[in-house]
């Protein structure tokens, strides 16, 4: 059993029971919130596994959005697109922050014959395309992007997360 010693700090000040409870629904603004734990490897691995599960669900959201767009049900589709984009943003942040926290060089990690750093750039390009299609109200183009590129991206990024998790586990054994 792994015991975690964790603490929460707001602008460097330790938040204990009452202060933590009183601060839980306040906007951060320019303040810095730190969550510190004695087991960063396990925290990163668990976060990535949760993101991986969310990505698998996102694949369904993307497909539903594409089908709704093709049926000219744009408002309904946009709800699914919004959910999917939130998961993609979380995925990017979780991968980048976990790698940074653990000192994993993404360009040294190869998935599907490409450095993960290149895959990050490709994903960013896909997300920019989705944004441009949303702004241009190019619903059929958006449906295609969601059905093909973004669906392939789910497969790629679940593999990326698996590779990082394997690296985390391997790092524990050293």
Burial class (CB in 10 A: 0-12, 13-18, 19+), 108: exposed
| Strand ranges in 62-124 using DSSP code E only, listed in sequence order | 110-111, 114-115
pLDDT at 156 over 50: yes
Burial class (CB in 10 A: 0-12, 13-18, 19+), 103: exposed
pLDDT at 74 over 60: yes
pLDDT at 91 over 60: yes
Q: What percent of the chain has pLDDT over 90?
A: 69
pLDDT at 174: 43
Burial class (CB in 10 A: 0-12, 13-18, 19+), 83: middle
Mean pLDDT of 69-82: 96
Confidence tier at 12 by pLDDT (50, 70, 90): confident
Mean pLDDT of 40-53: 90
């Amino acid at each position: 059993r792994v015991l975690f010693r964790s603490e929460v700090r707001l602008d460097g000040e330790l938040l204990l029971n009452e202060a933590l409870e009183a601060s839980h629904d306040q906007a951060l603004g320019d303040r810095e919130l730190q969550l510190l734990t004695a087991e960063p490897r396990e925290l990163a691995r668990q976060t990535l596994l949760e993101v991986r599960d969310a990505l698998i669900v996102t694949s369904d959201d993307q497909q539903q959005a594409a089908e709704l767009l093709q049926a000219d049900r744009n408002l309904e589709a946009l709800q699914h697109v919004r959910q999917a984009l939130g998961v993609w943003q979380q995925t990017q942040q979780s991968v980048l922050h976990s790698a940074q926290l653990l000192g994993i060089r993404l360009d040294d990690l190869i998935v599907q014959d490409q450095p993960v750093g290149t895959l990050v750039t490709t994903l960013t390009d896909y997300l920019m395309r989705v944004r441009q299609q949303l702004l241009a109200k190019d619903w059929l183009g958006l449906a295609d992007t969601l059905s093909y590129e973004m669906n392939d991206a789910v497969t790629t990024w679940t593999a990326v997360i698996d590779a990082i998790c394997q690296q985390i586990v391997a790092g524990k054994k050293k």
